[in-house]
Structure 1
Amino acid sequence: MTIAPDSARQGSPQYRAMRDIAERTWDGIPGKFEITEEGIVHDMMSPGGPHEATAAHVSRRLEKVMPDDLLAHTGTPDVEHEPKGILRHPDVIVIAWADLGVEGSVDPHALIAAIEIVSRSNPDNDWTGKTRDYPLLGIPIYAIFDPRTGTGAVLSDIHTTPDGPRYATRKDFVYGEDVTIADWTISTEGLPRYQ
């Protein structure tokens, strides 16, 4: 659900105000707050069950095949680009250990990939909003796992369009198939589904 007007652009005072509102409410209201060009997005449901289990499975499977200096992190750092007025919180980020050790938000240019587990309560945020915002932030690979349908997609190859940067390549997959994210291939066998 978007709860603020289209005023978050270019590190404006409106963006700072929305950032302050989101920070003050993170601990008191369930769910997740992000800031996009449309304003504050609140995913009202706290992730749990299949959502969290999928993030953990994907993280663990990636870390088994990645080099030791990289991490598939499921923690809490935000990815923020204040000049563009965007603050996002991916479910899993693939990043070098050295780039994670910063105070505050992570630089989106440090990410190798962002991975989202589609929310049952707000699927358009993952399939539409983040598909727009992640190439804008320069995140080279965006992988989506959808426990509602047992499907997903990996988006890559950012290119310029009249509407701004977009992913040029989309590879769809069905749970049970292997999926390649950046240089690493993992199984999607046995990933949980929403009931």
Structure 2
Amino acid sequence: MTSPPMDTASAWDALDGVDLPRGYRVEITDGKITMTPQGESQWKVILKAAPQIERQLAGHGDILSDVMIDFPSSLYGYAPDLAIIAPGSERNSRGRYEWHSLEAVLEVVSKSNQDNDFSKKFRMYAECSIPVYVIIDPSAGSCTVYQHPTRTGTYRDDDVVPFGQDLVLPLEGREIVVRTDGFPVDDGDR
């Protein structure tokens, strides 16, 4: 997959040369840099989901966690909790993947970042045509799978999957199934 040229500077350029502390999630929304500590529930969901996805990708794509992705705006720089990279995708001249390389994004939300994950990321991911966006909410004990993005910043379809049921990620020409029965229900640790 070849990358179309980026017309704007990357939001991540603002952090070039900055030594970021470990254990913190760093993202840029509306041009503002946000650092939040990773919560226990978030970490446990990522730890349980990532190996399942990686095993099923079997070399046909890649999975990343908390890795900078370039979006077509100098005001937004996201590092999704889990990002599934399409097979054949290449890094840009900055050494990063771009938004059009993403087949799916999975974000684990907490009460402190719901506005960021539920509205701003939802809109950006849809406008960038990310085919599958999953919000995993440990406080609700469920995952919401959004599909069929529109250029107006919405998704046409959504499906709620309670923890304990299989989470099916419909990727290009294949499906990834994630067992959620081990996902923790948030008890307020974040």
TM-score interval for Structure 1 and Structure 2 normalised by the shorter chain: 0.7 to 0.9
- 2:183 corresponding residue in structure 1: 191
Residue identity opposite 1:167 in structure 2: Y
Displacement, 1:97?
5.8
Higher relative contact order (CA 8 A, sep 6+): 2
Aligned 1:31-42 pairs, distance under 5 A? 31-36=24-29, 38-40=30-32, 42=34
Match of 2:117 among 109, 117, 126: 126
Residues 147-182 of structure 1: CA deviation (Å, up to 9, x unaligned) = 12211201010124xxx2321101111111111112
TM-score (norm 2): 0.78
CA RMSD of aligned residues (A): 2.7
Aligned partners of 2:165 and 2:179 also within 8 Å: yes
Aligned partners of 1:63 and 1:72 also within 8 Å: yes
Which secondary structure does the structure 1 equivalent of 2:153 belong to? Answer: strand
Residue identity opposite 1:186 in structure 2: V
Which secondary structure does the structure 2 equivalent of 1:148 belong to? Answer: coil
Residue identity opposite 2:80 in structure 1: P
Match of 1:86 among 76, 93, 115: 76
Q: Structure 1's 178 and 107: CA in aligned 2 closer, same or farther, altered over 3 A?
A: same
Q: Structure 1's 75 and 99: CA in aligned 2 closer, same or farther, altered over 3 A?
A: farther
Match of 1:146 among 113, 119, 137: 137
Residue identity opposite 2:179 in structure 1: S
The structure carrying a bigger helix percent of its residues is: 1
Identical-pair percentage: 23
- 1:106 corresponding residue in structure 2: 97
- 1:7 corresponding residue in structure 2: none
Match of 1:177 among 162, 165, 177: 165
Unaligned residue ranges in structure 2 (runs of 5+): 1-6
